[in-house]
Every structure is written in C-alpha cells, then in structure tokens.
Amino acid sequence: MIKSYVINLERHKDRLEKFYKQNQTHFFERVNAIDKNVLTALGYEKFYFNTSALENKIHRKITIGEIACTLSHILCWNKIASDDELLEKEYALIAEDDIILSENFCAIIKNLIDKINDLGIDYKLIILHKLDLYHFSHKIKEDGQYHLINASTSEDIDNDGSALYLLRKDKAIELVEFLKEKKPFWLADHFSTFCPDKVGILFPFIGYINETVPSDLEIERTIARQNAGIA
C-alpha cells in the first residue's frame, strides 16, 4: 500500500485509537503533531514562522493552532522527502487523525494513481477531502463513481481544511529544500501558495470530518476572522 502518515497530538490518544479502528488504517505511520500548547509556552513564534508575511496576506492575526498544524504537516513532508523507498514521482498520503475514511479508500487511491500514471498527468498534490465550507458539496459515497478535476483557482482549494491529501515525493523535496532557507508563510490548507503546480481534486471525497466533534483549530480561525471583520 501507499506510504501513509497520520498526524496526531500526544494528548489526543483517543483520536488515534478511533482512527486505527477504521478499515485498512494499520499501515499509517503516526507523526507526532506539534502541540500549540508547547508553542505557546515557548513563545517567539516568529522564530519559526513568517507571521508578518502571512498576516499581510490574510488580513488577520494568525493563531498558534494554525502555526502548529502547519508545522505538523511540514514534519510529514520531511518524512516523505527523506524516504529512500519512495521514488521521486511516487505519492504519499497525509491524513489528520479526525478524518473518517471511505471503507474502500485503499482501492480508490490505487485506481486513482494508476489512472494518473497511465494518462501521464503531472499532479504534484491531490486533495481527497475538503470541509465544504465554500464552493463544493461533494460528499463521500461508495458506488465507485469518482472524478478527478483540475483546481483552477485558489478559491477551489484553499482555506478548506488539510485533513487528507496525496503529495508527490519530488514536491516534498522541493518544499523541504525551500524551508532550509526560508520560514513558512502559508497555512496547512493554503495549497495554492506552497504548491502552485498542478493540483487535482477528487470528487466525491473519500473522507469526511464528523461535524459533531468540535475542532479547536476551526473555532480559533473563526474567532480570528470575526475579530478581523472577515466573514
């Protein structure tokens, strides 16, 4: 199966247990997420994040939770980039621990990658889930009818969660090399910023987030947007 990672906070063992109870998740490697509480205690977030550049772009204050989430995804990118078993044109799967996966997601991903390779499509990143906060309303389904479309604008892919996506190793290497010289100035779901290359979106999605389970990150983001007068 494809190399796969699940991002999980040490203090959220219950989420990891629920994740691993899902079908065909045993092969996911746990990545210890950066804890916002640790970052808060350390302070000086500007040491490891270009907060001014990002805040100028999004016109509001960035939250510590957003920084921690983004750094956690970067940890995954480092693992992908340094994996000697992965070829540069091969994909790895990144998941957050609250994602609920389609029962047959493994087969769907295999068929998806086979199709991409057969057609020679040069996707560096493929989004497999969105929060559906903005433009789309494509929910998980099991009838096998899936479609891959090109992301045409940043509005198609940004600010809508980063809970499940495929990243190609050569893109991970490129990002890791960039971050050796510069600090990140994007959020984990600002896909168009850190991956301005060809990005695909799979419809319908093969995972969803339980809306009854509160997300500290999304709550913080909503408050930050409201404080800045952003809808």
pTM of the predicted protein model: 0.89
pLDDT band at 136; cut points 50, 70, 90: very low
What pLDDT, on the 0 to 100 scale, is given for residue 100?
A: 95
Q: pLDDT band for position 113 (50/70/90)?
A: very high
What average pLDDT does range 18-26 have in this prediction? Answer: 96
Residue 80 lies in domain: 4-227
Residue 102 CA to chain centroid, in angstroms?
17
- What average pLDDT does the chain have? 88
Residues of the chain above pLDDT 70, percent: 86
- Do 168 and 81 touch, CB atoms closer than 8 A? no
How many residues are given for the chain? 231
Q: Is the model more confident about 9 or about 221?
A: 9
3-state secondary structure of 32: strand
Question: Taking 70 as the threshold, does the pLDDT of residue 231 lie above it?
Answer: no
pLDDT, tens digit, 9 for 90 and up, residues 38-82 = 888 887 677 889 999 999 999 999 999 999 999 999 999 999 999
**Does a cis peptide bond (omega within 30 degrees of 0) precede residue 214?**
no
**What percent of the chain lies above the pLDDT cut of 90?**
67
- Partners of 163 in beta bridges: none
Interatomic CA distance for residues 230 and 202, integer angstroms? 29
> Would you say 16 and 30 are in contact if contact means Cβ atoms under 8 Å apart?
yes
Q: Residues 3, 9: contact at Cβ < 8 Å? A: no
CATH number at residue 51: 3.90.550
- Among the listed residues 221, 180, 223, 173, the one whose alpha carbon sits nearest the alpha carbon of residue 67: 221
- The candidate with the shortest Cα–Cα distance to 166, out of 195, 137, 204, 146, is 195
Per-residue pLDDT band at 144 (split at 50, 70, 90): low
Instruction: Report helix, strand or coil for 10.
Output: coil
Tell me: pLDDT of 134 over 70.
no
Structure tokens belonging to residue 163: 């809970």
- Please give the pLDDT value at position 224: 64
Q: What is the structure's pLDDT at 167?
A: 99
Question: 225 or 127, which is more confident?
Answer: 127
Q: What is the pLDDT of residues 94-108, one digit of tens each?
A: 999 999 999 899 999
Conformational region of residue 148, where left means phi above 0, alpha means psi within -120 to 50, and beta covers everything else: beta
Number of domains present in the structure of the chain: 1
Region class of 229: left (phi > 0), else alpha (psi between -120 and 50), else beta: left
